[in-house]
Amino acid sequence: MEDLTQEEWASQLADDDNAIILDVRTDAEVADGIIPNAIHIDIYKGQEFISEIEDLDKSKNYYVYCRSGNRSGQACNIMEELGFENAYNLEGGILEWTGDLVDLD
């Protein structure tokens, strides 16, 4: 896992043709907006979270975020334990995100 600043995360993501954005916040948090093209898998779902993560393509590069950067860090650690080689945590989470957000509704 690698912690990236907001600038590093956005810059690396923009240049990555093998990128997947992963939002690990709750449904209520996601209702406030989500980074475009992100996949939402709530880390608080426990075993269901792990099952959904295991179904993802391990050859992709995952850019993971939550509200503040704590849960996404935990998610990156879980992903590493499951065999993912490239998981990048967004330091400061969506609270410090200055990029675009979209509503899911």
- Two tokens, residue 55: 């179904």
pLDDT tens per residue across span 45-103: 999 999 999 999 999 999 999 999 999 999 999 999 999 999 999 999 999 998 889 98
105: pLDDT strictly greater than 70: no
Rounded to whole angstroms, the Cα distance separating 30 from 77 reads 22
Helix, strand, or coil (residue 70):
helix
Q: CA-to-CA distance for 23 and 52, rounded, in angstroms? A: 13
**C-alpha distance from residue 27 to each of 17, 38, 63, 66 (Å):** 28, 13, 19, 11
- The residue from 66, 79, 87, 90 that is catalytic is 66
Mean pLDDT, rounded, for 3-13 = 95
Let me know if 76 is a catalytic residue. Answer: no
Provide the whole-model pTM. Answer: 0.95
Residue with tokens 């590093």: 8
Residues in the chain: 105
- Which domains, from first to last, does the chain contain? 2-96 (3.40.250.10)
pLDDT computed for residue 71 by the predictor = 97
Contact status, residue 60 vs residue 86, Cβ threshold 8 Å? yes
